[in-house]
Amino acid sequence: MSADYTPNGGPRMTEFLKGIPVKTRWLSGHHVTWTTGQQDRADGVAPETASHCSAFVAAVALALDRYVLRPPNHNQELLTNHQYDWLYGNGTYPGPDARTSGWQALGLSGDDGVLAEAVARANAGQLVLASFASADRKKPGHICIVRPQTWVADSGVPPIVMSAGAVNYCTIDMKTAFKDHHGAWPSAIALFSCLSGLEDDSPPGSY
């Protein structure tokens, strides 16, 4: 086994997320190509520039060969609210649905055991999303990725997430990530999980 071997599950997901350039791409205020987060137009010449949490999440899922509602099946503008509906199986959208894409709704952040289950699944290597839709669907919601972590449910400390928004963060606590969305924390953030392909060890000799 090579010295740079990374075990399955959470460590492998952590290694994968470390390679995502969230601090330098999917930046607020620029129109971006959703798959890479790179600016693709001059500022001020197109909508879809405020922030890019939904594009970021879709790009991470794509890198894992997993599907989350994304262009061209829905454009980037206000995509987060539609991803929330899609993950719950609500609404009608082109392309695959959430259930057949492998997504499972875990519940809301205020429900007993849901945050602990979300963290446990992230620690097992699953892709776990935290999402909140705006009550006024003409305003954006927010969506981010729950990171593998050591977390104690009754510690009073929110779980850690990876988030693109007004400011992009490799690691930020969930409460702060959703601070601009009234009513989200602590009870109304929806958690979803999907197998990522990073849960299992690679075959012997693959490193």
Q: Which of 113, 189, 183 minimizes the C-alpha distance to 146? A: 189
Residue 72: partners with Cβ closer than 8 Å, 6 or more residues away: 94
Domain boundaries 10-17+78-194, corresponding CATH code? 3.90.1720
pLDDT at 206 over 50: no
Q: Domain segments of the chain: what residues? A: 10-17+78-194
**pTM of the predicted structure, to 2 decimals:** 0.91
pLDDT at 157 over 90: yes
Per-residue pLDDT band at 3 (split at 50, 70, 90):
low
